[in-house]
């Protein structure tokens, strides 16, 4: 083996050791509770530290079904005759003109007694939407905005609307998909 190849191999090994040291340091910092934004581009976005803004609500995720959304949203304000899934929460948690985010479902109330639901997963990069205010459902990652009435794109880089999710209202509660 020539000296040039030996030197090249030694440099490659040193580079790998340096990369491992950086990754090991990041892992140790993460375990120590230090925030290391190594891959902070488009994450889940379900950080519970945000605060509500006027005109809407923000919520940390709560338990909800993780089944795929169906093709239509319910606007029923009367008790349903069964068929609903898990209770997402009481209707009183969803303000008129605002909404509430339950894990991967966002429920809005565009008008009194009219409930709409959509997937809370942004169609741009898969982030979870964070707020509902001023008639829009808002994604924190890249600024996409969706209509709280029909899920259509209102601004930002999102290429498609939020998919509707079937919810029902029964006994003062919002029920997720069956």
Per the model's pLDDT, the better-predicted residue between 51 and 141 turns out to be 141
Domain count along the chain: 2
Is 45 domain-assigned? no
Does a structural domain hold residue 127?
A: yes
Q: 46 lies in a domain?
A: no
Q: Are residues 1 and 28 in the same domain?
A: yes
* Element spanning 102, H or E: strand 99-102
* pTM tops 0.75: no
Q: Is residue 70 part of a domain?
A: yes
pLDDT band at 73 (very low <50, low <70, confident <90, very high): very low
Stretch 38-59: mean pLDDT: 38
Whether residues 78 and 159 fall in one domain: yes
Q: Is 34 exposed, middle or buried (0-12, 13-18, 19+ CB in 10 A)?
A: exposed
What is the domain extent for residue 79?
57-175
pLDDT at residue number 10? 67
pLDDT tens, residue by residue, 153-164: 999 999 999 999
Nearest C-alpha neighbor of 55 from the set 110, 106, 117: 110
Same-domain check for residues 61 and 136: yes
Which tens digits make up the pLDDT trace of 97-115?
999 999 999 999 999 999 9
Q: Are residues 23 and 94 in the same domain?
A: no
What is the arrangement of strands in the sheet containing 99-102, beginning at the earlier edge strand? Answer: 99-102, 105-111, 114-119
Q: Worst-scoring range by mean pLDDT, 76-90, 91-105, 148-162?
A: 76-90
Same domain, 13 and 65: no
């Amino acid at each position: 083996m020539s000296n040039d190849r030996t030197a090249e191999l030694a440099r490659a090994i040193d580079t790998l050791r340096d990369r491992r040291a950086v990754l090991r340091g990041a892992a140790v910092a993460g375990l120590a509770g230090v925030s290391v934004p190594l891959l902070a581009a488009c994450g889940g976005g379900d950080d519970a530290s945000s605060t509500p803004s006027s005109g809407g609500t923000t919520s940390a995720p709560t338990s909800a079904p993780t089944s795929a959304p169906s093709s239509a949203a319910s606007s029923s304000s009367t008790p349903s005759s069964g068929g609903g899934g898990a209770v997402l929460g009481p209707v009183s948690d969803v303000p008129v003109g605002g909404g509430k985010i339950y894990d991967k479902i966002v429920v809005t109330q565009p008008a009194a007694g009219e409930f709409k639901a959509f997937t809370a997963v942004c169609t741009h990069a898969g982030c979870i939407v964070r707020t509902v205010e001023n008639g829009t459902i808002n994604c924190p990652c890249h600024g996409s905005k969706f209509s709280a009435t029909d899920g259509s794109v209102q601004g930002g880089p999102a290429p498609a609307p939020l998919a509707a999710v079937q919810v029902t209202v029964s006994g003062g509660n919002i029920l997720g998909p069956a």
